[in-house]
Amino acid sequence: MKKFLSLVMAVAFALSTATVTLASSSTNCEVKSVEGTTVVLDCGNNAGDLKAGSQVKVKAAKKRAIEGC
């Protein structure tokens, strides 16, 4: 029983650590302009989290389906 409880606690700790890491690594930014292959983003107060030359992943906003009658 003690081994099982220890295993459950270890898994719970690992999942909570992974969740916090994933949540803290995302930053919401707004696209200000696009010129050729250059995109300018406004990240507000979160801009300090990013450094020049670092790679970032960008997701395009999903287009909403227009419902008909």
Domain boundaries, the chain: 2-49
For 42, residues 6+ apart whose C-beta sits below 8 A from its C-beta are 29, 30, 31, 32
Q: Output the pLDDT for position 22.
A: 54
pLDDT given at position 26: 67
pLDDT of residue 42: 85
- Tokens representing 63 are 């287009």
Tokens of 43: 């990240």
pLDDT tens digit at each of 69 positions of the chain: 888 888 888 888 777 766 555 555 667 788 889 898 888 888 888 777 777 887 777 777 777 777 766
Of 58, 21, 22, nearest in space to 39 by CA: 58
Give the CA-trace dihedral at 27, 49, 23, 62, to 10 degrees: 20
